[in-house]
Amino acid sequence: MTPATHDAGLRNLLSVRDLDAAAAVRILDLAEDMAEVATREVPKLPALRGRTVANLFFEDSTRTRLSFEAAAKRLSADVITFSAKGSSVSKGESLKDTAQTIAAMGVDAVVLRHSASGAARVLADSGWIDAAVVNAGDGTHEHPTQGLLDAFAMRKRRHADASRGRDLAGLRVTIVGDILHSRVARSNVWLLHTLGAEVHLVAPRTLLPAGVGAWPVTTSSDLDAAIADEPDVLMMLRIQSERMHAAYFPHEREYSRQWGLTDERFGRLPAGTMVMHPGPMNRGLEISAKAADSDASVILDQVTSGVSIRMAVLYLVLSGAAAGA
Partner 1 sequence: MSVLITGAALPDGSVTDLRIDGGVIVEVGAGLSAAKATRIDADGLRALPGLVDLHTHLREPGFEQSETVLTGSRAAAAGGYTAVHAMANTSPVQDTAGVVEQVQSLGEQHGYVTVRPVGAVTVGLAGERLSEIGAMARSRAGVRVFSDDGKCVHDALLMRRALEYVSGFDGVVAQHAQEPRLTEGAQLNEGVVSAELGLAGWPAVAEEAIIARDVLLAEAADARLHICHVSTAGSAELVRWAKARGVRVTAEVTPHHLLLTEDAARGYDARFKVNPPLRRDEDVQALRAALADGTIDVVATDHAPHPIESKECAWQEASFGMVGLESALSIVQQTMVDTGLLDWAGVARVMSRVPAEIGRLAGYDAPFSVGSPAHLTLYDPAVSAPFDVGRLRGLSVNSPYLGRELPGRVIATLHRGVPTVLDGELRDPEEVARG
| Chain residues in the site for partner 1 (CB under 8 A) | 94-96, 114, 116-119, 121-122, 125-126, 138-142, 183, 186, 209-215, 246
- What is the residue type of 155? R
Residue with smaller CB distance to partner 1, 138 or 232? 138
Compute CA distances 262 → 143, 257, 277, 289, 302, whole Å: 27, 8, 14, 9, 21
Residue with smaller CB distance to partner 1, 46 or 213? 213
CA distance 217 to 203: 13
- DSSP letter string, 110-134: EEEEESSTTHHHHHHHHSS--SEEE
Closest distance to partner 1 from the beta carbon of 325 (Å): 25
Closest distance to partner 1 from the beta carbon of 186 (Å): 6
CA distance 141 to 307: 22
Closest distance to partner 1 from the beta carbon of 142 (Å): 7
Residue with smaller CB distance to partner 1, 98 or 288? 98
DSSP H or E segment with residue 263: helix 263-268
Residue with smaller CB distance to partner 1, 30 or 124? 124
**Adjacent-strand bridge partners of 36:** none
Closest distance to partner 1 from the beta carbon of 197 (Å): 19
Residue with smaller CB distance to partner 1, 96 or 159? 96
Residue 197 and residue 173 in contact, taking contact as beta carbons nearer than 8 Å = yes
Closest distance to partner 1 from the beta carbon of 260 (Å): 24
